[in-house]
């Protein structure tokens, strides 16, 4: 097997004196969909933010595409084509849908803007209808689509999705997971997603990691994890709430 | 809502009864509030004793105004607003159609401004035009330009700057000092003043990179004060509170505006009048203000302008999209400061005198108020707000007839701040996002479509 696209080794991240990640090892290979599941406060989002360099890992290293990115500032990490749809979507509410997508394409100075916008609009036709509407006036699902679309505009090598299903209706979640699958299959896009919706995420993914208290406690293929009794008990069968 | 459907007679009388009740309440509250403030006045008599003057008549007027006002509000104003609101809710949101006027009106405004001095001169004569061109034209345009400059920092990049006047001061003193010590001309020093102000913008920018909102506002406020205190205390260079006087005037392609043989008046065979210089200054500040607007409009469509606006919306998202927030913020500070510097050097050339008095915090506050009142980010709204605020101040000076009502000791200018405050509260209640609250989008695929402000809730988004 070739070297992984993203390789996290022994990462420890702190918020002040509080240790949020406690020696995390994980990897994402090219063309994979990898899911990270876990309960609230397990450190899933922290790991995602650590990959993006804010906050930076105090111990351990993050390698992307053979390059050490542990100490790079966030915007330089983004320039290596790691695009992120952050937690809470973080679209630009007063800017229109099109302007939001423009911001996503700022790395390439809009060179292939039109072409990429069309791609995003084929993936999410709803955004096309709403293109001149303000981001803040979109529904939650549309905002999530916009957030993913904006990330795609950067032509990423790795797409990071932080809780894409958060606060959305089941039907919309299905649509968004469907879109992720399509991106992965047709474009070979590598996706790393953090989810509380363990069932949907594991079903979608090639591989998965389970995180508890800042540590990765289990890993395996999506199917294996889905079948694993511990995972089932903790995250699938009433374990959540 | 009860008063919407108040068409029947019984509902009408009910409304009147309620209005009377509320009027009595309002009267009681007013009485309670003002009985000590207005009803009684402590005074000194001729033997230096404290005496109480009773002013029950005045108190009665206050109470009556409150009662009548409340009555009218309940009976007429509230039902009207309720009706309008209901009508608005019933009608669907329509995207306004562009008429010729709405599309072309910036150009029309510019043409009108270009024609303003000749029209004024033809109406009131050369000498009479002085007041109108100087007090109303130049004064307002300076503030339009300052507010447009600040708009880059506050309106576009969302960095609340309470010390903008510092850059105005840097520009003014750059011109005043460099021209009086080195004898350089205005046209050389205008860009120099802009560059120096931009430099100070970056100097301010560095320490505040990590700050946002309130904290940023406090530091910028302090920065404005520091600059002013330096100007006061660095007496060897700035002459302290005495200020720098006798600043050289600007020239038009080397033609001086003075009484000399090759001066402007002599050259064109015109009677000697300072009005020509003022008209020249009017066009100069108009050009500078238009430059500010042009640069702002262009920048908004360029990556850096988009990055500013995105930065205002969400800094973390910006970084995750590969935008370097450090340089983005610094360029916003520098660009805004540069226009402040231009305006400052114009101020110095117009006054012929600068002193730290002109660069107090109140100036920053007025400029910021213009930006907020106009609607952050909207050039048109800001221009309107500047006309209202600064033009309003100037008009107050003109209201001499008020002296006939309130006595010769009455000076309307002293009530300026009171009226400002009242106006701001009114506008913010009536239009929480300023005169022009909608934002003009910069990205289009096929056609332009205005995004109406009615799509978003007031005060949100």
Contacts of A84 in chain B (CB under 8 A): 320
Considering only CA atoms, which of B346, B135, B152, B348 is closest in space to residue B231? B348
Q: Each residue's pLDDT tens digit in chain B (461 positions)?
A: 444 444 556 777 888 888 899 999 999 999 998 888 878 888 888 888 888 888 888 888 889 999 999 999 888 888 888 888 888 777 665 555 666 777 778 888 889 999 888 888 888 877 778 888 888 899 999 999 999 999 999 999 999 999 999 999 999 999 999 999 998 889 999 999 999 999 999 998 988 888 878 899 999 999 999 999 999 999 888 888 888 988 888 888 777 777 777 777 777 777 777 788 888 899 999 999 999 999 999 999 888 999 999 999 999 899 999 999 999 999 999 999 999 999 999 999 999 999 999 999 999 999 999 998 888 888 999 999 999 888 888 887 777 777 777 667 777 777 777 877 887 888 888 888 888 877 777 777 765 444 444 444 444 43
Asked if this assembly's ipTM is beyond 0.85, the reply is yes
> Residue A154: what are its φ and ψ, rounded to 5°?
-80, 5
Return phi, psi of residue B89, to 5°: -65, -35
Report chain A residues whose CB lies below 8 A from the CB of B451.
96, 132-134
Q: For residues A27 and B134, what is the distance between their CA atoms, to the nearest angstrom?
A: 70
CA distance A77 to B127: 65
CB contact under 8 A, A54 and B442: no
Kindly determine whether residue B320 and residue A52, on different chains, have CB atoms separated by under 8 Å. Answer: yes
Distance from CA of B321 to the nearest CA of A (A): 6
* φ/ψ of residue A18, rounded to 5: -90, 125
| Chain A residues within an 8 Å CB radius of B329 | none
- What is the Cα–Cα distance from B318 to B310, expressed in whole angstroms? 6
Q: Is A92 at the interface with chain B, CB within 8 A? A: yes
Task: Say what the pLDDT of residue B130 is.
Answer: 82
Q: Give this prediction's pTM.
A: 0.81
Burial class (CB in 10 A: 0-12, 13-18, 19+), B449: middle
Tell me which residues of chain B have a C-beta less than 8 Å from any C-beta of chain A. 303, 306-307, 309-310, 312-314, 316-325, 439, 441-445, 449, 451, 455-456, 460-461
Residue of B nearest to A96 (CA): B441
What does the pLDDT read at residue B56?
A: 86
| Distances from the Cα of A72 to the Cα of A26, A169, B14, B310, B352, angstroms | 19, 37, 71, 22, 52
CA distance B396 to B147: 21
Between the CA of residue B45 and those of B49, B51, B52, what are the distances in Å?
5, 7, 10
Question: Which residues of chain B are within 8 Å of residue A154 when distances are taken between CB atoms?
Answer: 321-322
Distance between CA B249 and CA B179 in Å, rounded? 10
Of B391, B425, B357, which Cα lies nearest the Cα of B143? Answer: B391
Backbone angles phi, psi at B258, to 5 degrees: -145, -170
Instruction: Please check whether residue A148 is in contact with residue A161, taking contact to mean a CB–CB distance below 8 angstroms.
Output: yes
CB < 8 Å from B in window 166-205 of A? none
Cα A159 from Cα B376, distance rounded (Å)? 34
pLDDT at B62: 87
Q: Let me know how long chain A is.
A: 241
Give the pLDDT score at B94: 57
Of A32-41, A73-82, B319-328, B431-440, where does mean pLDDT reach its minimum? B431-440
Provide the pLDDT for residue B93: 57
- A90, A101, A134 member nearest B316 (Cβ): A90
A131 and chain B: CB distance < 8 Å anywhere? yes
Which residue out of B322, B330, B456 would a mutagenesis test of the A interface target, given it has the greatest number of A Cβ atoms within 10 Å? B322
Nearest CA-CA distance, residue A132 and chain B, Å: 7
Identify the residue whose tokens are 């006798």.
B246
Token pair belonging to A230: 């511990």
Q: Which pLDDT does position B458 carry in this prediction?
A: 40
Backbone torsions φ then ψ of A62, nearest 5 degrees: -120, 125
Identify which of B282, B258, B275 has the alpha carbon closest to the alpha carbon of residue B125.
B275
Per-residue pLDDT at A241 exceeds 60? no
| Residue B165 C-alpha, separation from nearest chain A C-alpha, in angstroms | 28
Residue-level pLDDT at A184: 94
Considering only the beta carbons, identify the residue of B313, B320, B445 that sits closest to A93. Answer: B313
The first and second tokens of residue B71, run together, are 């009555």
Mean pLDDT over all residues of chain A? Answer: 91
Among the partner-chain residues A83, A86, A103, the one whose CB lies closest to the CB of B310 is: A103
Chain B residues within 8 A of A136 when measuring between CB atoms: 456, 460-461
Query: Over chain A, what HEC string results?
Result: CCCCCEEEEEEEEEECCEEEEEEEEEEECCCCEEEEEECCCCCHHHHHHHHCCCCCCCEEEEEECCEECCCCCHHHHHHCCEEEECCCCCCCCCCEHHHHHHHHHHHHCCCCHHHHHHHHHHHCHHHHHCCCCEHHHCCHHHHHHHHHHHHHCCCCCEEEEECCCCCCCHHHHHHHHHHHHHHHHHHCCEEEEEECCHHHHHHHCCEEEEEECCEEEEEEEHHHHHHCHHHHHHHHCCCCC
A87 touching B (Cβ < 8 Å): no
Q: Is A156 on the interface with B (CB under 8 A)?
A: no
Domains (ranges, CATH) in chain A?
1-81+156-241 (3.40.50.300), 92-155 (no CATH)
* Cβ proximity of B271 and B265 under 8 Å: yes
Distance set, CA B263 to CA A221, B103, B283 (Å): 88, 42, 18
Mutate to test the interface with A, among B96, B158, B320 (most CBs of A within 10 A): B320
């Amino acid at each position: 097997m070739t070297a992984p696209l993203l390789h996290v080794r022994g990462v420890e991240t702190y918020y002040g004196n509080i240790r949020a990640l406690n020696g995390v090892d994980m990897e994402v290979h090219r063309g994979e969909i990898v899911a990270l599941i876990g309960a609230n406060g397990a450190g899933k989002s922290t790991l995602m933010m650590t990959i993006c360099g804010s906050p930076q890992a105090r111990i351990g290293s993050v390698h992307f595409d053979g390059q050490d990115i542990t100490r790079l500032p966030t915007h330089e990490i983004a320039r290596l084509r790691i695009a992120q749809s952050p937690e809470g979507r973080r679209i630009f509410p007063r800017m229109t849908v099109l302007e939001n997508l423009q911001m996503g394409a700022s790395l390439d100075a809009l060179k292939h803007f039109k072409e990429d916008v069309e791609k995003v609009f084929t993936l999410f036709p709803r955004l096309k209808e709403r293109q001149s509407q303000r981001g803040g006036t979109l529904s939650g699902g549309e905002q999530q689509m916009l957030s993913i679309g904006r990330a795609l505009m950067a032509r990423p090598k790795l797409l990071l999705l932080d809780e894409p299903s958060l606060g959305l209706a089941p039907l919309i979640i299905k649509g968004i997971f469907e879109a992720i699958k399509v991106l992965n299959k047709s474009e070979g896009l590598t996706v790393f997603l953090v989810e509380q919706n363990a069932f949907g995420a594991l079903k979608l993914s090639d591989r998965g990691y389970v995180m508890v208290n800042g540590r990765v406690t289990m890993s395996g293929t999506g199917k294996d994890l889905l079948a694993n009794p511990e995972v089932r008990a903790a995250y699938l069968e009433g374990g959540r709430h | 809502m009860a008063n919407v459907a108040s068409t029947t007679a019984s509902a009408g009388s009910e409304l009147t009864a309620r209005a009377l009740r509320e009027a009595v309440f309002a009267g009681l509250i007013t009485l309670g509030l003002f009985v000590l403030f207005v009803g009684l006045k402590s005074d000194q008599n001729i033997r230096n004793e404290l005496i109480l003057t009773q002013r029950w008549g005045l108190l009665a007027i206050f109470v009556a105004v409150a009662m009548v006002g409340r009555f009218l509000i309940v009976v007429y104003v509230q039902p009207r607003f309720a009706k309008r609101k209901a009508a608005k809710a019933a009608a669907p949101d329509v995207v306004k159609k562009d008429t010729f006027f709405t599309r072309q009106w910036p150009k029309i405004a510019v043409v009108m401004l270009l024609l303003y001095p000749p029209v004024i001169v033809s109406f009131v004569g050369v000498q009479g035009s002085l007041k109108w061109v100087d007090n109303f034209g130049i004064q307002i345009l300076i503030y339009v330009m300052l507010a447009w400059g600040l708009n880059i920092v506050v309106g576009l990049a969302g960095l609340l700057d309470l010390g903008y006047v510092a850059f105005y001061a840097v520009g003014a003193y750059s011109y005043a000092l460099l021209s009086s010590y080195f004898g350089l001309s205005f046209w050389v020093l205008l860009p120099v003043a802009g560059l120096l102000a931009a430099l100070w913008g970056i100097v301010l920018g560095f320490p505040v990179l990590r700050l946002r909102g309130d904290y940023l506002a406090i530091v910028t406020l302090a920065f404005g004060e520091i600059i002013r205190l330096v100007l006061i205390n660095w007496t060897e260079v700035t002459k302290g509170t005495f200020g720098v006087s006798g600043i050289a005037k600007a020239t038009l392609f080397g033609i001086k505006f003075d009484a000399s043989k090759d001066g402007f008046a002599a050259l064109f065979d015109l009677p000697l009048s300072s009005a020509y210089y003022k008209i020249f200054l009017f066009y100069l500040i108009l050009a500078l203000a238009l430059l500010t607007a042009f640069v702002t409009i262009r920048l908004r469509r360029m990556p850096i302008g988009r990055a500013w606006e995105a930065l205002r919306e969400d800094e973390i998202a910006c970084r995750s999209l590969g935008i370097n927030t450090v340089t983005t913020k610094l360029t916003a500070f520098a660009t805004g400061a540069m226009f402040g510097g231009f305006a400052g050097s114009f101020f110095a050339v117009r006054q012929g005198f600068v002193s730290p008095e002109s660069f107090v915090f109140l100036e920053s506050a007025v400029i910021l108020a213009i930006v907020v009142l106009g609607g952050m980010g909207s050039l048109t709204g800001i221009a309107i707000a500047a006309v209202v605020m600064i033009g309003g101040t100037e008009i107050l000076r003109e209201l001499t007839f008020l002296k006939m009502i309130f006595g010769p000791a009455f000076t309307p200018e002293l009530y300026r701040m009171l009226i400002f405050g009242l106006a701001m509260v009114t506008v913010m209640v009536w239009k929480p996002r300023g005169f022009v609250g909608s934002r003009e989008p910069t990205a289009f695929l096929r056609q332009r479509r205005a995004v109406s402000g009615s799509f978003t809730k007031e005060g949100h988004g």
